[in-house]
């Protein structure tokens, strides 16, 4: 008895101590990304909801992992921790809709690259399996107010399945918001030479353009064939399920993984930049009954009417790229977003980066704003529009009651490079804003 009583007493004291230590700062300094959800009220802050009006002075409440209240006035639950938001602005966390963050640590070191598989058709390769929660890129990215990314495989024709993750968690499963987000396809394109900066490794331009076109067409037909076989497989399975007299086809993991896309349950991310390729993707997807999303989209502005008519969204990854044609206007890619916006095409802005530079997402959006997009639309392009394109806007992308509490608090305009993120919450948990970089900085700033 006595021993039990002592244990209870000990538990009570320990519990009290834990409660006392449960301040935001303490949680945000936890070494692992497994802090409990908190109840927090950010008061007197500027609230940029993105979905609606900006509230110049208001309160946002986070509770049970969700946004519990947003408004000029809001009831603050008892026991909530208060953040004085004076001079601060609250935003939904930014979303980079097309990265390979977590699959590549150092591109020059092959052992750290898990981005692509061998062979042309790997629809069953799933990014969520290989995302490294402990990649230094995760926290470095989060530091700038990016709370979510879509991570995609690359290589071959059907690269595999993208995943959508929180930049928070100690396992891929803890990070996953949508484990299998969609299929990723590098749409076969015309070989016009190129392939990197090394002349020795570069593909020569085709000697015979007709041959190059034939090769591209053959590869497209191959892709079509794989999808048709998968659809046949799906029909055979359905028929067997409906009628016990029909033999069940042997399970084929490759075909199996294509079925959700063929049934329209899963979008297909088509990497395509040039107008002719975008046009070909649209025709192909329509023909095959797929739900396409264009990734890249450097020439999307040329196809705006068609994209709009077919209601196909675009994830722009090349806002900061150099124009691909020598005679393009210098700002052709800076202006791409503004032109799509004007044409009413659904789009969002992404870095397209494999990890280390996803943190620069706000500057990609900012540059589009310097060239014709309104600052509001630019912010939307890396928050709510990204969520919409990825099909997660019911949960993320804006400051609305009921949404997942992925919220950042900054000391200024989120798209400005000089702005600092002061707090970040992911799934209602306070997220550390330390990183490999801040740690090295802390170490070496003391060395005089």
Partner 1 sequence: MLNTTPLRFALACGLATALGFGTPARTPAQQKAQTPTLIRNATLLTVTKGTLENSDLLIENGKIAKIGKGLTAPAGARVIDATGKYVLPGIIDCHSHSMIDAVNEGSLSVTSMCRIRDVLNPNDVDLYRALAGGVTTLNLLHGSANAIGGQNQVVKIKYGRPIEEFLFPDAPPGIKFALGENPKRSNFRFPGQTQRYPNSRMGVEETIRDAFVRARDYKRQWDDYNAAKARGENVVTPRRDLQLEPLVEVLEGKRYVHAHCYRAEEILMLMNLAEEFGFRVRTLQHVLEGYKIAREIAKHGAGASAFADFWSYKVEAYDAIPHDAALMTRAGVIVSLNSDDDGRARRLNMEAARVMKYGDLTENEALRLITINPAIQLGIDRRVGSLEVGKDADLAIWTAHPLSVYARVETTFIDGEVFFDRQTDLARREALARERAELEAAEVNRPQGGGAPPPVPARRRPAYSFGDNCMQMTKE
**Cβ(162)–Cβ(127) under 8 Å?**
yes
**Cβ(348)–Cβ(385) under 8 Å?**
yes
- Long-range contacts of range 228-235, CB-CB < 8 Å, 24 or more positions apart? 229/255, 230/254, 230/255, 230/258, 230/259, 230/262, 231/262, 233/259, 234/259, 234/262, 234/263
Candidates 30, 129, 342, 363; binder of partner 1 (CB under 8 A) is 363
93 binds partner 1 (CB under 8 A): no
Q: By CB under 8 A, how many residues form the interface with partner 1?
A: 61
Query: Dihedral of the CA atoms 285, 287, 291, 293 (nearest 10)?
Result: 20
Closer residue to partner 1 (CB): 274 or 291: 274
- What track of x and - describes contact with partner 1 for positions 403 through 422 (by CB under 8 A)? ------------xxxxxx--
- What track of x and - describes contact with partner 1 for positions 174 through 193 (by CB under 8 A)? ----------------x-xx
Provide the minimum distance between the beta carbon of 59 and partner 1 in the complex, in angstroms, as a whole number.
27
Closer residue to partner 1 (CB): 169 or 318: 318
Q: Which stretch binds partner 1 (CB under 8 A): 115-123, 230-238, 263-271, 314-322?
A: 314-322
Give the C-alpha distances (Å, rounded to integers) separating 119 from 116, 154, 182, 277, 328.
9, 11, 19, 22, 35
Instruction: Output the furthest CA–CA distance in the chain (Å, rounded).
Output: 91
Candidates 46, 357, 380, 429; binder of partner 1 (CB under 8 A) is 357
Closer residue to partner 1 (CB): 265 or 416: 416
Rounded to whole angstroms, how far apart are CA atoms 328 and 350? 22
136 binds partner 1 (CB under 8 A): yes
Provide the minimum distance between the beta carbon of 155 and partner 1 in the complex, in angstroms, as a whole number.
17
| Region class of 111: left (phi > 0), else alpha (psi between -120 and 50), else beta | alpha
Candidates 4, 5, 79, 326; binder of partner 1 (CB under 8 A) is 326
Provide the minimum distance between the beta carbon of 441 and partner 1 in the complex, in angstroms, as a whole number.
4
Rounded to whole angstroms, how far apart are CA atoms 51 and 402? 13
Closer residue to partner 1 (CB): 118 or 201: 201
Q: Which stretch binds partner 1 (CB under 8 A): 26-34, 168-176, 337-345, 353-361?
A: 353-361
Structure tokens at 306: 């068609």
| Segment 94 to 133, residues that bind partner 1, using CB under 8 A | 105-109
Q: Within a 10 A sphere around the Cβ of 21, how many other Cβ atoms? A: 10
Burial of 129 from C-beta contacts in 10 A (0-12 / 13-18 / 19+): middle
Candidates 243, 245, 327, 402; binder of partner 1 (CB under 8 A) is 327
Rounded to whole angstroms, how far apart are CA atoms 168 and 399? 19
Closer residue to partner 1 (CB): 183 or 272: 272
341 binds partner 1 (CB under 8 A): no
Rounded to whole angstroms, how far apart are CA atoms 65 and 38? 7
Closer residue to partner 1 (CB): 8 or 420: 420
362 binds partner 1 (CB under 8 A): yes
**Cβ(74)–Cβ(39) under 8 Å?**
no
Closer residue to partner 1 (CB): 84 or 416: 416
| Segment 190 to 249, residues that bind partner 1, using CB under 8 A | 190, 192-194, 196-202, 205, 209, 213
Provide the minimum distance between the beta carbon of 192 and partner 1 in the complex, in angstroms, as a whole number.
6
Helix, strand, coil % in the chain, rounded to nearest 5: 35, 25, 40
Rounded to whole angstroms, how far apart are CA atoms 293 and 316? 11
44 binds partner 1 (CB under 8 A): no
329 binds partner 1 (CB under 8 A): yes
What is the binding site for partner 1 (CB under 8 A)? 105-109, 136-137, 190, 192-194, 196-202, 205, 209, 213, 274, 276, 320-327, 329-331, 355-357, 359-360, 362-363, 366-367, 369-371, 375, 415-420, 436-437, 440-441, 444-445, 447-448
């Amino acid at each position: 008895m006595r021993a039990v009583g002592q244990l209870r007493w000990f538990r009570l004291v320990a519990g009290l101590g834990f409660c006392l230590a449960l301040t935001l700062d303490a949680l945000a300094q936890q070494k692992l990304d497994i802090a409990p959800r908190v109840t927090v009220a950010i008061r007197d802050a500027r609230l940029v909801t993105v979905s609606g009006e900006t509230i110049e002075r208001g309160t946002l409440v986070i509770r049970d992992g969700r946004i519990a209240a947003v408004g000029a006035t809001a009831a603050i639950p008892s026991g909530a921790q208060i953040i004085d938001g004076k001079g601060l602005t609250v935003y939904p966390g930014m979303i980079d809709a097309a990265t390979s963050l977590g699959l590549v640590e150092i591109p020059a070191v092959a052992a750290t690259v898990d981005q692509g598989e061998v062979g042309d058709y790997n629809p069953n390769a799933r990014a969520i399996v290989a995302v490294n929660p402990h990649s230094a890129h995760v926290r470095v990215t989060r530091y700038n107010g990016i709370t979510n990314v879509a991570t995609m495989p690359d290589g071959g024709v059907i690269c595999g399945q993208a995943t959508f993750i929180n930049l928070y968690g100690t396992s891929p499963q803890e990070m996953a918001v949508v484990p299998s987000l969609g299929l990723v396809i590098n749409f076969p394109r015309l070989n016009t030479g190129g392939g990197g900066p090394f002349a020795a490794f570069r593909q020569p331009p085709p000697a015979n353009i007709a041959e190059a076109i034939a090769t591209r067409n053959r590869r497209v037909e191959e892709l079509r064939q794989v999808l048709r076989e998968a659809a046949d497989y799906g029909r055979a399975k359905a028929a067997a399920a409906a009628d016990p007299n029909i033999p069940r086809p042997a399970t084929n993991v490759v075909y199996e993984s294509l079925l959700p896309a063929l049934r329209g349950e899963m979008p297909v991310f088509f990497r395509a930049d040039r107008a002719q390729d975008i046009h070909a993707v649209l025709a192909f997807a329509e023909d095959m009954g797929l739900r396409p999303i264009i990734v890249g989209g450097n020439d999307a502005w040329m196809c705006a009417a068609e994209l709009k008519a077919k209601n196909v969204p675009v994830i722009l990854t090349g806002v900061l790229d150099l124009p691909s044609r020598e005679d393009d206007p210098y700002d052709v890619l800076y202006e791409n977003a503004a032109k799509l916006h004007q044409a009413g095409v659904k789009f969002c802005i992404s870095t397209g980066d494999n990890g280390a530079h996803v943190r620069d997402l706000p500057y990609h959006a900012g540059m589009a704003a310097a060239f014709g997009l309104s600052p509001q639309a630019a912010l939307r392009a890396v928050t709510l529009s990204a969520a919409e394109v990825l099909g997660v806007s019911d949960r993320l992308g804006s400051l609305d009651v009921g949404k997942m509490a992925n919220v950042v608090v900054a000391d200024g305009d989120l798209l400005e490079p000089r702005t600092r993120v002061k707090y970040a919450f992911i799934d209602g948990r306070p997220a550390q804003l330390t990183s490999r970089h801040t740690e090295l900085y802390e170490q070496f700033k003391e060395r005089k």
